[in-house]
Amino acid sequence: MATVELTKGNFEQVVTGNDMVIVDFWAAWCGPCKSFAPVFEAASGKHGGIVFGKVNADDEQELAATFNIRSIPYVMLFREKVVLFAQAGALPAEGLESVIRQARALDMEKVHKEIAGQEKAAGEVASRGCF
């Protein structure tokens, strides 16, 4: 599957409408971005069930700022709307494959329960005024 260009206008729809989305924040002037691009493209061809999206950080500065992107390339992996991986720097092919394997192996029901428990605990602390 070819990569999808992600913008402020379609980002949320793509992430919420697909089980797994891997995003590469990049820029045309960035050397490491250029060296990572073929690795990202090759992985997108091997994993048809995953959406691979690219965000041009120069053109989509507001979107990059939303995720506090300070260094590129920056790779994020969403599964069921949860960020499971986020890291600056160009990954080698095996590194990207490892991230994908680990994300696929996670029990997402357990992940969602853990998040719900953390949110509940944070809400209880906030309601007691413990900050």
130 falls within a domain: no
Q: What is the pTM of this model?
A: 0.88
33 falls within a domain: yes
58 falls within a domain: yes
Q: How many percent of the chain have pLDDT more than 90?
A: 79
Sequence-separated (6 or more) residues with CB below 8 Å from residue 7:
55, 59, 60, 63
Q: How many domains does the chain have?
A: 1
Could you confirm whether 130 is annotated as catalytic? Answer: no
19 falls within a domain: yes
Cβ proximity of 3 and 44 under 8 Å: yes
Binning pLDDT at 50, 70 and 90, where does residue 131 land? very low
**Residue 27: domain span:** 4-105
CATH number assigned to the domain comprising residue 32: 3.40.30.10
Q: Cα–chain-centroid distance for residue 13?
A: 14
3 state SS of 129: coil
Catalytic residue among 22, 33, 69, 76: 33
Binning pLDDT at 50, 70 and 90, where does residue 130 land? very low
User: For strand 51-56 and strand 20-26, is the pairing parallel, antiparallel, or unpaired?
Assistant: parallel
Which one has a higher pLDDT value, 127 or 72?
72
User: For strand 20-26 and strand 74-79, is the pairing parallel, antiparallel, or unpaired?
Assistant: antiparallel
Average pLDDT (89-115) is 94
6-49 pLDDT per residue, tens: 999 999 999 999 999 999 999 999 999 999 999 999 999 999 89
Average pLDDT (72-88) is 96
Cβ proximity of 11 and 63 under 8 Å: yes
Could you confirm whether 33 is annotated as catalytic? Answer: yes
64 falls within a domain: yes
30 falls within a domain: yes
114 falls within a domain: no
Catalytic residue among 6, 30, 63, 77: 30
